[in-house]
Chain A
């Protein structure tokens, strides 16, 4: 079956602009999580969505937001981009959230590499 699909794969934006990234989870998966990967900070959790509801949010400013649609696809948005937002943004999908079923495995997409200039 198809894996986690993230679009676009690469983006170059200018400071102050906003950007929307998309994630299509594995078919049947209802939980989507987002992570930011940078050389300095490593992999950091952004937020998690399940059934169109944000269940948890990481320690990121309000410029970072997301949503999930009824078909489980998810988008994340970053407004007023800063140079420090340059990163690889990863989406992970799971069948169910860990707290509900427990012991779920996250499958990662290839990510969207965002460069802010």
Chain B
């Protein structure tokens, strides 16, 4: 069965630092990949998604992710974080022919001013 691993459970950064959050999935083949963000007290929001095409995907709020098929990875990046990026970030993969998202455990990001 498909699974998703997020390597960092807690990340603490200062404003303007660069961010990279790791995500690996287990199944090779065609995959649909997502990064969601959950700000404190708010609902899950889609940051970006990869379905096909250019492996470098740009999302909202300056986030981007790179799909590397050979490494089964879909890492999230942002060159300069802001205090408002403090949130929990989830990597997810769509499971086959169903509308079933398989989520990683999440990474809590705290950005200090």
Contact = CB atoms under 8 A, between A and B. Distances in A.
Question: Chain B: interface residue count, which band?
Answer: 20 to 34
Contacts of A33: 99-101
Interface stretch (B18-26, B40-48, B60-68, B74-82): B40-48
B66 to A, nearest CB: 19
Contacts of B94: 98
Interface stretch (A69-77, A79-87, A101-109): A101-109
A56 interface: yes
A111 to B, nearest CB: 7
Contact of A55 (B46, B99, B101, B102): B99
B113 interface: no
B97 interface: yes
B89 interface: no
Interface in B79-105: 90, 92, 94-105
Interface residues of A, number: 30
A31 B103 contact: no
A99 interface: yes
Contact of A105 (B46, B97, B98, B103): B46
Nearest to B1: A59
Interface string A28-50: 00010101000000111100101
A109 B32 CA distance: 21
A7 interface: no
A42 B105 contact: yes
Nearest to A97: B99
Contacts of B92: 43
Contacts of A56: 98-100
A72 to B, nearest CB: 13
The 7 closest A-B pairs by CB, nearest first: A99-B97, A43-B103, A108-B44, A56-B98, A110-B43, A97-B99, A103-B51
